[in-house]
Amino acid sequence: AQKVTQAQTEISVVEKEDVTLDCVYETRDTTYYLFWYKQPPSGELVFLIRRNSFDEQNEISGRYSWNFQKSTSSFNFTITASQVVDSAVYFCALSEGATGNQFYFGTGTSLTVIP
Partner 1 sequence: KAGVTQTPRYLIKTRGQQVTLSCSPISGHRSVSWYQQTPGQGLQFLFEYFSETQRNKGNFPGRFSGRQFSNSRSEMNVSTLELGDSALYLCASSLLPSGGPYNEQFFGPGTRLTVL
Residue ranges in contact with partner 1 by CB under 8 A: 33, 35, 37, 42-47, 50, 52, 91, 95-108
Q: How far is the CB of 1 from partner 1 (least distance, A)?
A: 15
Q: How far is the CB of 113 from partner 1 (least distance, A)?
A: 21
Contact 49, 65 (CB under 8 A): no
Nearer to partner 1, 80 or 107 (CB): 107
3-state SS of the chain: helix, strand, coil percent to 5? 5, 50, 45
Nearer to partner 1, 27 or 82 (CB): 27
Q: How far is the CB of 105 from partner 1 (least distance, A)?
A: 4
d(CA 87, CA 74): 22
Contact 75, 56 (CB under 8 A): no
